[in-house]
Amino acid sequence: MKAEAIKLDGAAAGSVELNDAIFGLEPRADILHRVVRWQRAKAQQGTHATLGRSEVSYSTKKIYRQKGTGGARHGSKKAPIFRHGGIYKGPTPRSHAHDLTKKFRKLGLRHALSAKLKAGELIVIESADLNEVKTSALAKQVANLGWKRALIIDAAVNENFAKAARNIETVDVLPSIGANVYDILRSDTLVLTKAGVEALEARLK
C-alpha cells in the first residue's frame, strides 16, 4: 500500500510504499498485550524486600517464662505474630522477566505498526534532519503539524534533531533498532521517516 509523505514544514514529499505484511495486518489485542507485558516485566526493578525472622534486630532471649503467665507460649520477639517481627514469606529481590520468542516479538511489532496505520495515527516524513539545534523552531513545526505525544523513528537519528527534540516534552525520538511495541502504542502519533520505514521493513522481514 502507498502512504503520502510530508516534510517537517508540512509540504508534500511524494509517497512511500508500505509492506502489507508489516503495515497491513489486522491488529490483535492479545498479541500486543503479551508483548507489552513482556516488556514491562523485563523493565521492572524487582528490588522489593522485607526483613525475615532471621534478619530483624531483636534479642534472642526468651521473652518471658514458659509457664504460669496465663498467656500463650512464646520464645522470640522476632516471630511474625508480633509487631515489628519478621515478615513470613515476604517479597525478596528477584527478576520479573519471562521468556518470549524473537519470532513473537517481531510479530507484536508488526501488529503495533499495523494498529497505528489502521487508526490513522501513522505519518511518514521525508527526513528528520536539522542543520542546527533549534528547539523553539522544531517545537513550532510540531505544533503546526498538530502532533501530540509523537514518537519519531528514523534509521539513524540525526544528532541535531535529537538535541532539539530533547527538551520538547511531547516528542520522543528513537532509532529503528530501538522501535518497540510499548512506546509505539503509548504515542498518539507515530512518525516514521522514509529511511525509518526501510529500516523497519528490513528488520521485520
Domain spans of the chain, in order of start: 2-45+97-204, 50-90
Class of domain 2-45+97-204: alpha beta
pLDDT tens, residue by residue, 121-171:
999 999 999 989 999 999 999 999 999 899 999 999 999 999 999 999 999
Q: What percent of the chain has pLDDT over 90?
A: 90
Helix (H, G, I), strand (E, B) or coil at 146: coil
pLDDT of residue 69 exceeding 90, the answer is yes
| Amino acid 13: pLDDT | 86
Which amino acid would we find at residue 48? H
State the DSSP string of 76-138.
-TTSTTSTT-PPTT------------HHHHHHHHHHHHHHHHHTT-EEEES----SS--HHHH
pTM: 0.84
| Amino acid 19: pLDDT | 93
| Amino acid 71: pLDDT | 92
